[in-house]
Chains A and B, each alone.
Chain A
Amino acid sequence: MPIRYVGRDPVQFAKSLYEICRQLRDWGVGRVVYKHRLSELHPTQKSYFRLTSVVPVLKSPGELAFQIWGHEVFRGREKGVNLITEGRKLDWVLVPKEEEKEFCAVREVYDIKQIPVPTHMNCPPLLELSIKGEMKARGQAPPEKIQIPFIADNYIKELDSYWA
């Protein structure tokens, strides 16, 4: 019988953090791991975790999971010690000890402040017409172009997020 593949096409080809940690000394505390997807998306900007605390949790006989905290570096920026919520995903790669120093050297930082964000935007045409009409009715001289303040809070928040 020919082999028949069943299920979804795989998207992730690496290991889960649980697989990695259960084979390391001290459960992998102090080691560096990174997500394959992030390395693909942003090749020049380094994102990795240096594990600080790894607590084993036995989910079922034969299934060893962990609660892992690590010092996060996301796209070159340091984000402090955080809990890793995606340890289950098969997307993790362990950095060998010899290559750690070279790997962790951050050359490019994704700085949100470098990205230009406008403070004002052009008013939509119909709204502009109505405002100009109102100003004329009140007796004020309307300007040529009406500018509306651009509320950039959500924009910056999204740019700064994991899924930018």
Chain B
Amino acid sequence: MASCLRLLVETSLKQQALLVSACTSRTPLVQSVRFRKPPWVPVAKSKEFYVRKPTPVDQEEYEELKARYRFYRSEVDSVRQFLAQDLSARQHNLEDQDLRADEAEVSLMMQHLQEWNTHVAAVRNERQLQEQLDHEQMLKERLANQEKQRMLDAERALAELEEKEAAAASFIDPDKLDEAIEKLIDSRKDYNFAITKSGEKLFGEYPDRKTPESHKQS
């Protein structure tokens, strides 16, 4: 784009660059905008060895200001150190206060804690005492129950024993076996009985009537 412009009109690099920017962008050509040469363009011949003149300094003023600033900065530093010391002193005081406040708070808390502990201890001791008594009671009851049970067992065993002893009367000795056999053979069992609802056996065909002894024997 710039090359074709150069063919048409002999323009300076600056104008060319401006025109190029105008063509590529949508903004109008406004030459009041500040311009800077692109980095690839060499320095102009008139500006090649340009060296700026140092800013003029009034020697008297310079010396006077130097002295005054020296003193002023020392003053400011003094004020700053004074304030720093004051602040550190205040911080120490605050730290002391904080420490004392913390200690007071802790002691108060310990006091409360002790109160609660005593109260809770009383309640706990009462409960523990009651529990102990209950336990002892329970043990006693258990022992008593065991005794009772033992006695019951003994009674039952005794009753059973008596039963068995009673039953043992009908046991057949081996010596008297022959007699027993003969007895059995001689005896007769009567199965001609009825049963009531309650389980009562009703012997004989006519249970209400009295049966003669001859029936039984036959």
* Bound Cα distance A149, B82 (Å): 8
Question: Are B53 and A9 touching (Cβ within 8 A)?
Answer: yes
Interface-side segment among A23-31, A71-79, A88-96, A150-158: A150-158
Q: Which chain B positions have C-beta within 8 A of A9?
A: 53-54
By secondary structure, the A interface counts as loop
How many B residues touch the partner, as a band?
10 to 19
Question: Are B71 and A148 touching (Cβ within 8 A)?
Answer: no
Q: Which chain A positions have C-beta within 8 A of B71?
A: 155
Q: Which chain A positions have C-beta within 8 A of B49?
A: 4, 6-7
Instruction: Tell me the B50-98 residues at the A interface (CB within 8 Å).
Output: 51, 53-54, 70-71, 73-75, 77-79, 81-83
* Bound Cα distance A151, B81 (Å): 8
The answer to whether A148 and B70 touch (CB under 8 A), given A9-B53, A121-B75, A154-B77, is no
* Bound Cα distance A33, B83 (Å): 48
Q: Which residue in A6, A151, A154, A158 is a CB contact (below 8 Å) of B51?
A: A6
Most chain B CB within 10 A, of A123, A124, A151, A159, is at A151
Q: Which residue in A4, A7, A150, A155 is a CB contact (below 8 Å) of B70?
A: A155
Instruction: Tell me the A137-151 residues at the B interface (CB within 8 Å).
Output: 148-151
Instruction: Tell me the B132-163 residues at the A interface (CB within 8 Å).
Output: none
Question: Are B70 and A158 touching (Cβ within 8 A)?
Answer: yes
Q: How far is the CB of B78 from chain A (nearest CB, A)?
A: 5
- Binary B-proximity of A1-42 (CB < 8 A = 1, otherwise 0): 000101111000000000000000000000000000000000
Q: Which chain A positions have C-beta within 8 A of B83?
A: 127
Name B81's closest neighbour in chain A (CB-CB).
A151
* Bound Cα distance A110, B49 (Å): 43
Q: How far is the CB of A18 from chain B (nearest CB, A)?
A: 25
Q: How far is the CB of B91 from chain A (nearest CB, A)?
A: 16
Q: Which residue in A7, A8, A152 is a CB contact (below 8 Å) of B74?
A: A152
The answer to whether A149 and B51 touch (CB under 8 A), given A155-B70, A158-B70, is no
Q: Which residue in A7, A127, A158 is a CB contact (below 8 Å) of B79?
A: A127
Q: Which chain A positions have C-beta within 8 A of B73?
A: 154
Question: Are A148 and B78 touching (Cβ within 8 A)?
Answer: yes
8 contacting pairs across A/B (C-beta < 8 A): A7-B49, A9-B54, A124-B79, A148-B78, A150-B78, A151-B77, A154-B74, A159-B70
Nearest 6 A/B pairs, CB to CB: A6-B49, A155-B74, A151-B78, A148-B82, A150-B78, A8-B51
